[in-house]
């Protein structure tokens, strides 16, 4: 296991390496993606989607029926110097909903921020469409800042009583594509799989969410872009949900996460 000082050094060297090789914000978008928590799979079910999930997949906004808000934070590899913070709102409007999302990663020396807004609409009973526009910026101490606009188009359709599928096209510096499917048994269990095409690579994701009792649920996810699984325990207290989770990297260490979600 690497010491704290070595982990910090490795992380900063990786950031500098990506900047030198790619010289563009698009190579650093992964920093604004949570390491200790997956949301992608929850988009392919009807009982586990919330404002934070809608930040990953705006097609969720088509099913907005109640106000929902969420905040999330993680301490990547246990380092207080490079936290990721995220906040999201989902608001029902007419035949769909709108959403607002903000993210920030880093510190005063290296900071990435993203602000986006989205809208979702129903196209018939089984098909929902969502779009999201935003701006992603990176600031480096004594080197200035740069930013790029971002865009997401997402479709989600119900294939049957228990099946749901979706596809996304994402423009954030380069083009990214996602396609996934989920199977849900009642409101208590969801199994989902997603494949992402990003920077010429195919990245699989498998996620399961199980509501053990009305007050408690558990989530487990594995992905092809990191070596460790992610787990989350969800405590459901009426309209408030408290999620605590983590992921463990074999060399860089432990990444704890916590999220608070309010709404139905």
Q: What would the two tokens of residue 169 be?
A: 């096209």
At residue 16, the pLDDT reads 46
The pTM of the whole model exceeds 0.85: no
Q: What would the two tokens of residue 59 be?
A: 């097609």
At residue 152, the pLDDT reads 94
Per the model's pLDDT, the better-predicted residue between 106 and 244 turns out to be 244
- Give residue 56's Cα distance to chain centre: 5
Q: Is 238 helix (H, G, I), strand (E, B) or coil?
A: coil
Share above pLDDT 70 across residues of the chain, in percent, rounded to a whole number: 87
Rounded to whole angstroms, how far apart are CA atoms 31 and 104?
A: 9
Q: Is 44 helix (H, G, I), strand (E, B) or coil?
A: helix
Per the model's pLDDT, the better-predicted residue between 25 and 78 turns out to be 78
At residue 97, the pLDDT reads 93
Q: pLDDT band at 4, cuts 50/70/90? A: low
Q: Where are the domains of the chain?
A: 4-263
Residue 250 DSSP label? T
pLDDT in tens, 50-61: 999 999 999 999
Size of the chain in residues: 264
pLDDT in tens, 91-134: 999 888 999 999 998 887 888 899 999 999 988 888 999 999 99
Q: Are 49 and 105 in contact (CB under 8 A)?
A: no
Q: pLDDT band at 245, cuts 50/70/90? A: very high
Residue 76 DSSP label? G
Q: Is 83 helix (H, G, I), strand (E, B) or coil?
A: strand
Angle, CA 31 vertex, CA 220 and CA 109 arms, to 5°: 140
Per the model's pLDDT, the better-predicted residue between 217 and 38 turns out to be 217
Q: How far is CA 234 from CA 55, 86, 230, 243, 258, in A?
A: 19, 18, 13, 4, 10
Q: Is the pLDDT confidence value at 147 over 60?
A: yes
At residue 151, the pLDDT reads 93
Q: Which of 59, 40, 137, 44 has the alpha carbon at shortest distance from 99?
A: 59
Specify the CATH architecture of the domain 4-263: Beta Barrel (2.40)
What is the per-residue burial (b if ≥16 Cβ within 10 Å, else e) of 26-57?
Answer: bbbbebbebbbbbbbbbbbbeebbbbbbbbbb
Q: pLDDT band at 30, cuts 50/70/90? A: low
- Please give the average per-residue pLDDT across 165-185, as a whole number: 91
């Amino acid at each position: 296991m690497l010491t704290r000082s070595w982990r910090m050094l490795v992380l900063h060297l990786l950031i500098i390496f990506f900047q030198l090789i790619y010289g563009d914000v698009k190579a650093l978008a992964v920093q604004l993606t949570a390491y200790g928590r997956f949301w992608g799979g929850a988009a392919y079910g009807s009982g586990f989607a919330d404002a934070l999930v809608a930040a990953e997949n705006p097609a969720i906004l088509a099913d907005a029926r109640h106000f929902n808000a969420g905040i999330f934070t993680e301490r990547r590899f246990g380092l207080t110097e490079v936290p990721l913070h995220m906040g999201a709102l989902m608001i029902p409007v007419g035949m769909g909903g709108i959403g607002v999302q903000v993210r920030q990663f880093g510190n005063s020396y290296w900071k990435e921020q993203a602000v986006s807004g989205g809208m979702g609409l129903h196209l018939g009973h089984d098909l929902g469409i969502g779009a999201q526009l935003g701006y992603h910026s990176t600031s480096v101490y004594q080197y200035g800042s740069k930013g790029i606009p971002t865009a997401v188009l997402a479709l989600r359709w119900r294939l049957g009583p228990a099946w749901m599928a979706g596809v996304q096209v994402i423009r954030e510096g380069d083009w990214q594509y996602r396609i996934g499917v989920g199977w849900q048994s009642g409101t208590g269990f969801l199994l989902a799989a997603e494949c992402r095409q990003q920077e010429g690579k195919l990245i699989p994701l498998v996620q399961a969410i199980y509501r053990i009792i009305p007050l408690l649920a558990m989530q487990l996810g594995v992905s092809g872009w990191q070596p460790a699984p992610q787990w989350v325990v969800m405590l459901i207290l009426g309209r408030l949900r408290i999620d605590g989770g983590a992921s463990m990297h074999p060399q860089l260490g432990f990444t704890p996460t916590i999220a608070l979600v309010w709404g139905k």
